[in-house]
Amino acid sequence: MRIDGKFLRSRVARRIATLFLVAALLPTSLLAFLTYRDVSRVTLEQQQDELVGASRAYGMALYSRLLFVRTVLENMAKKGEREWLLNADVPIFRSLEHIDAGQAQQWKRAMADSAGRDPALMVHGGGPAKAADIMMAAAMPHRRGNLLAAHVNPRYLWGASEDVDAAYNICIYSKGVQLHCAYPDETGSDDDKLRGEWELSLDPSFGIAPWKVVAVRRFPPRRAHSDFFNLYLAVAGCGVLLIMLLSLIQIRRTMGPLERLIDGTRRIAAGNYDDIRTDSRDEFGDLASAVNAMSARIRRQLSTLQTLSAIDRDMREQLDLPHLIAKIGDAMRQIVPDADLYVLRYAGNERENDRLFVQHGAGTPARENAAPAPSREADMLVQHPLGLLDAAPPSFLPAAFAHNWRIALLWRGRVCGILCLAWNDARALNEETMAELAELANRIAVAIQIEEREQRLLYQARFDSLTGLMNRHGLEERIAHIESGNVPAAVLFVDIDRFKHVNDNFGHRIGDLLLQAIAARLREFAECDTVGRLGGDEFILLLSGASNPTRVTSSASSLMALLTRPFDISGEQFTVTCSIGIALHPAQGADGLTLIERADIAMYRAKQTGRNNFRFYDERMTVENHARLALEFDLRQALGTHEFVLHYQPRVDLKTGHIVGSEALLRWNHGSRGMIAPAHFIGIAEETGLIVPIGTWVLRSACAQQAAWRRDGVAASVVAVNVSTRQFGEPDFVETVAATLAETGLPAECLELELTESMIMDDVEEAILILGRLRALGVKLSIDDFGTGYSSLAYLKRFPISALKIDQSFVRDIVDDQDDRLIVASIIGLAHNLQLKVVAEGVEDVAQLSYLAQQNCDEIQGYHFSPPVTALEFFRMAAARQRLEWPLPDSSVLQTERR
Ligand code: C2E
Ligand code: MG
Ligand code: MG
Reduced to 3 states (helix: H, G, I; strand: E, B; else coil), residue 488 is coil
pLDDT of 771:
96
Residue with the bigger pLDDT between 378 and 207: it is 207
Residue 611 alpha carbon to ligand 2 centre in Å: 23
Residue 717 alpha carbon to ligand 2 centre in Å: 17
Instruction: Please say if the pLDDT value at position 889 is more than 50.
Output: no
From 635, 643, 663, 665, mutation site for ligand 1 pocket: most ligand atoms within 8 A of C-beta? 665
Residue with the bigger pLDDT between 619 and 116: it is 619
Residue with the nearest Cα to atom 11 of ligand 1?
868
Q: Provide the pLDDT confidence category of residue 568 given band limits of 50, 70 and 90.
A: very high
pLDDT of 761:
83
Residue with the nearest Cα to atom 25 of ligand 1?
665
Give the tens place of pLDDT for each residue, 485-514: 888 899 999 999 989 888 888 899 999 999
Q: What pairing do the DSSP bridges indicate for beta strands 403-411 and 388-389?
A: antiparallel
- Mean pLDDT, rounded, of the chain: 86
Vertex 771 angle, CA 766 and 773, to 5°: 100
Q: What pairing do the DSSP bridges indicate for beta strands 578-585 and 489-496?
A: antiparallel
pLDDT of 86:
47
pLDDT of 84:
53
pLDDT of 553:
94
Relative to the CA of 646, which ligand 1 atom is closest? 41
Ligand found nearest the CA of 692 = 1
pLDDT of 896:
32
Give the tens place of pLDDT for each residue, 146-176: 888 888 888 888 887 666 677 888 888 888 8
Instruction: Please say if the pLDDT value at position 112 is more than 80.
Output: no
Residue 862's nearest CA partner among 889, 835, 842 is 842
Give the tens place of pLDDT for each residue, 12-21: 788 888 888 8
CA torsion 609→610→614→620, rounded to 10°?
A: 10
What percent of the chain clears pLDDT 90, i.e. is strictly above it? 38
DSSP H or E stretch at residue 415: strand 414-423
Residue 634 alpha carbon to ligand 3 centre in Å: 26
Residue with the nearest Cα to atom 13 of ligand 1?
842
pLDDT of 583:
94
Relative to the CA of 756, which ligand 1 atom is closest? 34
CA–CA separation, 113 and 102 (whole Å): 19
Residue 503 alpha carbon to ligand 1 centre in Å: 31
Residue with the nearest Cα to atom 15 of ligand 1?
862
Q: Of the segments 189-198, 344-353, 363-372, 556-565, which one has the largest average pLDDT value? A: 556-565
Give the tens place of pLDDT for each residue, 191-209: 556 788 899 888 787 878 8
Contact status, residue 207 vs residue 113, Cβ threshold 8 Å: yes
Q: Provide the pLDDT confidence category of residue 658 given band limits of 50, 70 and 90.
A: very high
Residue with the bigger pLDDT between 781 and 460: it is 781
Relative to the CA of 723, which ligand 1 atom is closest? 44
Residue with the nearest Cα to atom 41 of ligand 1?
666
pLDDT of 559:
93
Instruction: Please say if the pLDDT value at position 90 is more than 70.
Output: no
Relative to the CA of 647, which ligand 1 atom is closest? 25
pLDDT of 657:
93
Strand partners, 216: 169, 195
Neighbours of 697 (CB within 10 A): 16
pLDDT of 206:
80
Residue 847 alpha carbon to ligand 3 centre in Å: 20
Residue 808 alpha carbon to ligand 1 centre in Å: 10
Q: How would you class 771 by CB atoms within 10 Å of its CB: exposed for 0-12, middle for 13-18, buried for 19 or more? A: buried
pLDDT of 661:
96
Neighbours of 404 (CB within 10 A): 22
Residue 722 alpha carbon to ligand 2 centre in Å: 5
pLDDT of 180:
86
Backbone angles phi, psi at 674, to 5 degrees: 75, -155
Reduced to 3 states (helix: H, G, I; strand: E, B; else coil), residue 411 is strand
Find the mean pLDDT for residues 433-442: 90
Among 114-118, 708-712, 800-804, 814-818, the range scoring the smallest mean pLDDT is 114-118
Residue 499 alpha carbon to ligand 1 centre in Å: 28
Contact status, residue 165 vs residue 217, Cβ threshold 8 Å: no
Q: Of the segments 86-90, 107-111, 359-363, which one has the largest average pLDDT value? A: 359-363
Report field, pTM of the whole predicted structure over 0.85: no
Relative to the CA of 807, which ligand 1 atom is closest? 3
Q: Provide the pLDDT confidence category of residue 891 given band limits of 50, 70 and 90.
A: very low
Instruction: Please say if the pLDDT value at position 257 is more than 90.
Output: no
Residue 742 alpha carbon to ligand 2 centre in Å: 23
Relative to the CA of 727, which ligand 1 atom is closest? 44
Instruction: Please say if the pLDDT value at position 859 is more than 90.
Output: yes
pLDDT of 500:
87
Distances (CA, A) of 65 to 83, 180, 511, 666: 20, 15, 167, 179
Among 7-21, 322-336, 644-658, the range scoring the smallest mean pLDDT is 7-21
Among 312-316, 522-526, 596-600, the range scoring the smallest mean pLDDT is 312-316
pLDDT of 144:
78
Residue with the nearest Cα to atom 19 of ligand 1?
842
pLDDT of 637:
93
CA–CA separation, 599 and 541 (whole Å): 10
In the structure, which protein residues have their CB atom closer than 6 angstroms to any atom of ligand 1?
649, 665-666, 677-679, 682, 695, 698, 722, 724, 754, 784-785, 808, 841-844, 861-863, 868
